[in-house]
A and B are shown apart, each in its own frame.
Chain A
């Protein structure tokens, strides 16, 4: 380790101009990245990890930001360079990949052109030479039929493939440092596994260093040699990854780690378990309590779905004739009992959200039976549908867009109560105050607007709103996915508490296997619109039978530094699409009973 570091950051402080005053968002960061090393910066949103990476590349708006300290990149004093000289560093000495593969490529240029640009800019290649080199790069990132895809546009690629294009672009000039800013956060878990493997392999091949920015402790454990933990703009802990994970000194590090749901941590437990509540000051965790039994099985299920099918027609041609259909939900059946949490898990496009919306008839199902709290859902007229809303409510993923910014929180929560004429304005007020207290907020907050709340608080408000009609079933569609780990843990705990006190039934839709393992009684794994495996949580997680379930679980990164060497084998398999032609006849599916209530689709 006597080699000079590729990147050396000393006392980095970055400030933004806010309302005429400089406000520091990153304070006094110092670290090195040595040749061939992977360093992870981990932290929750607002911790300053992305700002750190943008500071190193000097990509922040010059007028409204100020970078102080010293940054040495490949021997160059970054902060002393002119903007022109800096352009010779970006994409050349260090390059960057970003979180959103869907929007990080320019939609109107071919991917070939966008990669060639780097080669022409930094290596002085001719167009012809750049083309040949680009094809070689595309092959390197394992894009099938690389040569024929040179002239394709970004929209012709899936998210995972676009991230490969981004990586090819970043590697084009053989940089000494690759800065990866949440490169896998927007990807499905099996695709995430592929991209992580790809980065590891390419790093070995090219001998470059990687600065990896993420909020996901599982990803950190898998990829990083050394880890930096950031909290509110400060570097609270730095060290070899296993040191940080096993013997974290700073209380925040321990708090963060204990809030992370770990796949496989629920063995031997019978019921859903609350997340440990950790004191950020001391880092001490209270041992989580198991939730008492709430499920009333044996009785009539509150929600019974039989052979539900939802398809979306695809039209094309001069007269918009139907040429095919997206088989979003294909012949699924399940029951949900009062007080129970059934989770639907799967990757994007598997039909889990469509299922949730179909049973509420927010989307019109194609066929099948849904019986919810005594209603024959598919037969309801407009009036009946309105009454149905009293029995089933929904909580959405994004608490920033699911609340009307022009409505006070109180108005948002009491609106369903008032619109359904359940009582006087006074009663609505009391109800709202009660609900706010139930979700851990203060009734005094009623007259505030959503922008005054944090993401976690907004999700609590959304939960209070869903509860205002005293529903029996709540469809929680990725309701905790957008939240930071510590907030995620709190909201999950809230849901478990509410289930206990109100005897709610949850249809918990999520892609996050570790959270699902924690909160569910039963789990249904969905793939291409079908349920491939369903059963009690312990049975599905400890004895997965279907190949897709196994694949899904193997892909989940586990925050355990012992798994650092893990390789899943380079693959570029894509998620399959449930688009079918008109004459497609869905095969009749058979299920095999593994143990009591544990059913697996027979291939």
Chain B
């Protein structure tokens, strides 16, 4: 197993390098000059020159890249052009928020999606299956911002059960933290649950027609044992992969949802940085997201192997 993980991590290095080149060139290709923005209204040539020198912007592009990459490797993601805070610090501030939101959204979507998927597969082509599919389709098609606003109206404004917005760290006040996060997490989870449901359903359908399920039934096992133990454990494989990938996506932040519920996560950080041409922050966020995504991918593969005795043996 360690050999396998090591191998996969080695493979991730070139991927990260390619992403870093993309991220770096994005900044060079984008229109607009941050130095001009920083230099203020006067555009004093001396100031501009000083700033250019300070941020190594006069060097040839490959040198700039190496310089930049060197910084990243040593944990120096640069300084936010806007707030003068180190980017790493900014990112580390937002990371727990995003992770908490992602975890909660994922848990909710699995809690909805998996039972619905199993039910839809077992009751294939019955009313239950159709209802599950309609619910899933609605989850996918209802826009997040609309659902978010409606929930705020209903739950917070009319019923007054949950706070409409804000954020509290889970380490400071766990109850309040979960109260503020549960609605945005649910909004995010609707679309995810639909995907989880569809995948669970199709995986279960494949497994339910397998020969070994017929064997299990021929043994006289109860439907509960046949479905939950013999079928679901096998159907889990593709669902695990999907979950890890969806989680990787969640780590990129949820711009609209965070905006509506005013949650200080990655999504908000990204949007603010893009509008302010705060490139260092954009780069930092994109790189962090990429690393998160790659790690989740790796996790998916490792889980896949662990759940599959056949692959486990080849390690």
Instruction: Kindly provide the distance from the CB of B60 to the nearest chain A CB, expressed in whole angstroms.
Output: 36
- What's the Cα separation between A166 and B214 when bound, in Å? 12
Hey, what's the 0/1 contact readout for A35-57 against B, CB within 8 Å counting as 1? 00000000000000000000001
Which of the candidate stretches B17-25, B40-48, B133-141, B219-227 sits at the interface with the other chain?
A: B219-227
Residue of B nearest to A95 (CB): B218
A residues near B308, Cβ cutoff 8 Å: 107-108
Q: Is A90 touching B218 in the complex (CB atoms < 8 A)?
A: yes
- CB contact under 8 A between A91 and B310, given known A108-B233, A108-B234: no
Instruction: Kindly provide the distance from the CB of A85 to the nearest chain B CB, expressed in whole angstroms.
Output: 10
The answer to the question of A412 belonging to the interface, with a C-beta cut-off of 8 Å to chain B, is no
Residue of A nearest to B219 (CB): A91
Q: Is A103 touching B220 in the complex (CB atoms < 8 A)?
A: no
> Which residues from 81 to 132 on chain A have a C-beta closer than 8 Å to any C-beta of chain B?
87-92, 95-96, 98, 100, 103-109, 117-118, 121-122
The answer to the question of A153 belonging to the interface, with a C-beta cut-off of 8 Å to chain B, is yes
- What's the Cα separation between A155 and B6 when bound, in Å? 26
The answer to the question of A318 belonging to the interface, with a C-beta cut-off of 8 Å to chain B, is yes
Residue of A nearest to B207 (CB): A106
> Which residues from 139 to 180 on chain A have a C-beta closer than 8 Å to any C-beta of chain B?
153, 155-156, 166, 169
The answer to the question of A363 belonging to the interface, with a C-beta cut-off of 8 Å to chain B, is no
Instruction: Kindly provide the distance from the CB of B246 to the nearest chain A CB, expressed in whole angstroms.
Output: 23
Instruction: Kindly provide the distance from the CB of A141 to the nearest chain B CB, expressed in whole angstroms.
Output: 16
Q: Is B313 touching A156 in the complex (CB atoms < 8 A)?
A: yes
The listed residue (A103, A109, A153, A169) touching B219 by CB distance below 8 A is A169
Instruction: Kindly provide the distance from the CB of B255 to the nearest chain A CB, expressed in whole angstroms.
Output: 39
The answer to the question of A293 belonging to the interface, with a C-beta cut-off of 8 Å to chain B, is no
Hey, what's the 0/1 contact readout for B289-315 against A, CB within 8 Å counting as 1? 000000000000000000111100110
Q: Is B222 touching A87 in the complex (CB atoms < 8 A)?
A: yes
Instruction: Kindly provide the distance from the CB of A371 to the nearest chain B CB, expressed in whole angstroms.
Output: 40
The answer to the question of A445 belonging to the interface, with a C-beta cut-off of 8 Å to chain B, is no
Q: Is B234 touching A90 in the complex (CB atoms < 8 A)?
A: no
- What's the Cα separation between A98 and B212 when bound, in Å? 10
Q: Is B212 touching A318 in the complex (CB atoms < 8 A)?
A: no
- CB contact under 8 A between A88 and B215, given known A103-B210, A108-B234, A155-B310: no
- CB contact under 8 A between A59 and B218, given known A103-B212, A156-B313: yes
- What's the Cα separation between A318 and B6 when bound, in Å? 9
A residues near B212, Cβ cutoff 8 Å: 103-107
- What's the Cα separation between A318 and B7 when bound, in Å? 7
- CB contact under 8 A between A121 and B219, given known A107-B234, A108-B234, A153-B313: yes
Hey, what's the 0/1 contact readout for A537-579 against B, CB within 8 Å counting as 1? 0000000000000000000000000000000000000000000
- What's the Cα separation between A100 and B214 when bound, in Å? 11
Residue of A nearest to B125 (CB): A63
Instruction: Kindly provide the distance from the CB of B235 to the nearest chain A CB, expressed in whole angstroms.
Output: 11
B residues near A107, Cβ cutoff 8 Å: 212, 234, 308-310
Hey, what's the 0/1 contact readout for B66-78 against A, CB within 8 Å counting as 1? 0000000000000
- What's the Cα separation between A117 and B7 when bound, in Å? 38
Instruction: Kindly provide the distance from the CB of A33 to the nearest chain B CB, expressed in whole angstroms.
Output: 17
A residues near B309, Cβ cutoff 8 Å: 107-108, 153, 155
Q: Is B214 touching A59 in the complex (CB atoms < 8 A)?
A: yes
- What's the Cα separation between A89 and B220 when bound, in Å? 7
Q: Is B214 touching A104 in the complex (CB atoms < 8 A)?
A: yes
> Which residues from 259 to 315 on chain B have a C-beta closer than 8 Å to any C-beta of chain A?
307-310, 313-314
Q: Is A91 touching B313 in the complex (CB atoms < 8 A)?
A: no
Q: Is A104 touching B220 in the complex (CB atoms < 8 A)?
A: no
Q: Is B313 touching A155 in the complex (CB atoms < 8 A)?
A: yes
Residue of A nearest to B3 (CB): A318
The listed residue (B6, B307, B313) touching A108 by CB distance below 8 A is B307
Hey, what's the 0/1 contact readout for B203-240 against A, CB within 8 Å counting as 1? 00000001110111111111001000010011000000
A residues near B7, Cβ cutoff 8 Å: 318
Hey, what's the 0/1 contact readout for A285-322 against B, CB within 8 Å counting as 1? 00000000000000000000000000000001110000
The listed residue (B217, B221, B233, B313) touching A117 by CB distance below 8 A is B221
- CB contact under 8 A between A90 and B217, given known A103-B211, A104-B212, A153-B310: yes
Residue of B nearest to A54 (CB): B214
- What's the Cα separation between A98 and B215 when bound, in Å? 8
Hey, what's the 0/1 contact readout for B118-147 against A, CB within 8 Å counting as 1? 000000000000000000000000000000
Q: Is B219 touching A118 in the complex (CB atoms < 8 A)?
A: yes
Instruction: Kindly provide the distance from the CB of A95 to the nearest chain B CB, expressed in whole angstroms.
Output: 7
Residue of B nearest to A169 (CB): B219
Residue of B nearest to A94 (CB): B218
- CB contact under 8 A between A59 and B221, given known A103-B211, A318-B7: no
- What's the Cα separation between A118 and B216 when bound, in Å? 9
A residues near B313, Cβ cutoff 8 Å: 153, 155-156
For the complex of A and B, the 5 pairs showing the least CB-CB separation, nearest first, are A90-B220, A91-B219, A91-B220, A103-B211, A153-B309
Supply 11 A–B pairs (Cβ within 8 Å), ascending by A: A59-B214, A59-B217, A90-B218, A90-B219, A91-B219, A107-B308, A109-B230, A109-B233, A122-B220, A153-B309, A169-B215
Beyond A59-B218, A107-B308, A121-B219, 10 additional contacts (C-beta under 8 Å) are: A59-B217, A87-B221, A95-B218, A103-B211, A105-B215, A108-B307, A109-B230, A118-B219, A155-B313, A156-B313
